[in-house]
């Protein structure tokens, strides 16, 4: 079992655990600080300085949908309100919080907690930069037969002023790539105007990805050691979209550490907090393994 507090996992050299809270390791041209903390994020986030986080990629417990070894009994509005408020404090200007969430259905009605959380984030000062959808494509068909099968979760992108880091992913192949632009844009008054490149510029091979992401839930056994893990690609693509190399990424509900693994693979610093000791141990192991693979040069984007 790993020590429960602050654990640094340097990206190169022996697994020398430094607990001084300041260690940086620049071996293999990688400057990555990994800080994994076991405990309640409400309490542990207080040690994070104001404006020191560039990006948060997280998913909190979804109402009562999972028990998390019993800790979900402590979950509720009083917790998420305080966590979102503190996320605003620790996020720097131009920083982003990606909050991935879905609602339970109780007595036949969806709770709407996801919307309440988004509106609360705005009350705390965040902009609602985008409401994105994670389409899981192959959901298990649970729930009552009088509604359509649920297949998606919300990915709220909150930002503190306009996002200033990362790069929007352009991987949607344009059907008309190479042709000269001839599109038009409808104006507020209903009239249409030609696009800027009309008749001049060629259509690029790839355009911006749309804000509905079709990503299957985690498939590999090693990525499914938790009841509700992110697929690795989901965390990695948000990290690339909203942060730069060397930035600091937080996951206050780290679970099995998927956001941390993606940080190792994309060269970001990471702070992860997890309440449950069992999930915390899994996260430590997965992140160490990711670092081993990066050092061995065997990491491949899939």
Applying CB under 6 A, among 117, 248, 256, 266 the residue interacting with ligand SAM is 256
Helices 113-123 and 77-90: crossing angle in degrees, nearest 10, is: 40
Residue 186 phi/psi, 5-degree rounding, is: -80, 135
Pair 166, 244: CB distance under 8 Å: yes
Give the nearest distance from C-beta 282 to ligand SAM in angstroms.
Answer: 8
Question: Residue 81 CA to chain centroid, in angstroms?
Answer: 19
Residue 42 engages ligand SAM in binding (rule: CB under 6 A): yes
* Spatial CA neighbour of 42 closest among 93, 78, 96: 78
Nearer to ligand SAM, 25 or 90 (CB): 90
Pull the structure tokens for residue 18. 């430094």
Task: Determine, following the binding rule CB under 6 A, whether residue 54 of this chain makes contact with ligand SAM.
Answer: no
- Of 230, 228, 268, which Cα lies nearest the Cα of 246? 268
| # residues near ligand SAM by CB under 6 A | 23
**Which of 6, 35, 56, 59 lies at the binding interface for ligand SAM (CB under 6 A)?**
59
Burial code (b: 16+ CB inside 10 Å, e: under 16) for 19-44 equals eeeebebeeeebebbbbbbbbbbbeb
Q: Minimum distance from CB of 37 to ligand SAM (Å)?
A: 9
Span near ligand SAM by CB under 6 A; candidates 37-45, 112-120, 165-173, 179-187: 37-45
Provide Rg for the chain, Cα atoms: 21
CB of 203 to ligand SAM, least distance (A): 37
Please choose, out of 163-171, 187-195, 209-217, 225-233, the segment that lies near ligand SAM by the rule CB under 6 A: 225-233
Does residue 163 belong to the site contacting ligand SAM (CB under 6 A)?
no
Q: Which residues of this chain interact with ligand SAM, rule CB under 6 A?
A: 40-42, 59, 61, 68, 71, 75, 79, 226, 228-230, 252-253, 255-256, 258, 273-276, 279
């Amino acid at each position: 079992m790993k020590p429960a507090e602050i654990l640094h996992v340097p990206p190169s050299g022996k697994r020398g655990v430094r607990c001084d809270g300041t260690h940086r390791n620049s071996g293999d041209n990688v400057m990555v600080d990994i800080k994994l903390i076991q405990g309640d994020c409400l309490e542990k986030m207080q040690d994070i300085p104001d404006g020191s986080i560039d990006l948060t990629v997280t998913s909190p417990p979804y109402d009562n949908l999972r028990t998390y070894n019993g800790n979900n009994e402590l979950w509720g509005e009083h917790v998420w309100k305080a966590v979102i408020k503190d996320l605003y404090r620790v996020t720097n200007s131009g920083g982003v919080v990606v909050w991935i969430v879905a609602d339970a259905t109780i007595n036949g009605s969806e709770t709407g907690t996801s919307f309440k959380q988004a509106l609360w984030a705005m009350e705390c000062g965040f902009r609602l930069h985008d409401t994105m959808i994670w389409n899981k494509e192959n959901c298990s068909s649970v729930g009552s037969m009088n509604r359509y099968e649920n297949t998606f979760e919300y990915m709220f992108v909150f930002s503190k002023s306009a996002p200033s880091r990362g790069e929007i992913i352009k991987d949607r192949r344009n059907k008309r790539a190479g042709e000269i632009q001839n599109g038009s844009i409808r104006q507020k008054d209903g009239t249409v105007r030609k696009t800027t490149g009309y008749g001049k510029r060629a259509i690029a091979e790839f355009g911006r990805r749309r804000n509905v992401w079709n990503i299957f839930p985690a498939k590999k056994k090693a990525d499914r050691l938790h009841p509700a893990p992110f697929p690795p690609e989901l965390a990695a693509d948000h990290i690339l979209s909203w942060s730069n190399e060397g930035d600091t990424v937080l996951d206050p509900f780290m679970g099995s550490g998927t956001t941390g693994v993606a940080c190792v693979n994309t060269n970001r610093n990471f702070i992860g907090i997890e309440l449950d000791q069992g999930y915390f141990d899994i996260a430590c192991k997965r992140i160490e393994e990711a670092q081993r693979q990066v050092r061995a040069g065997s990491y491949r984007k899939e």
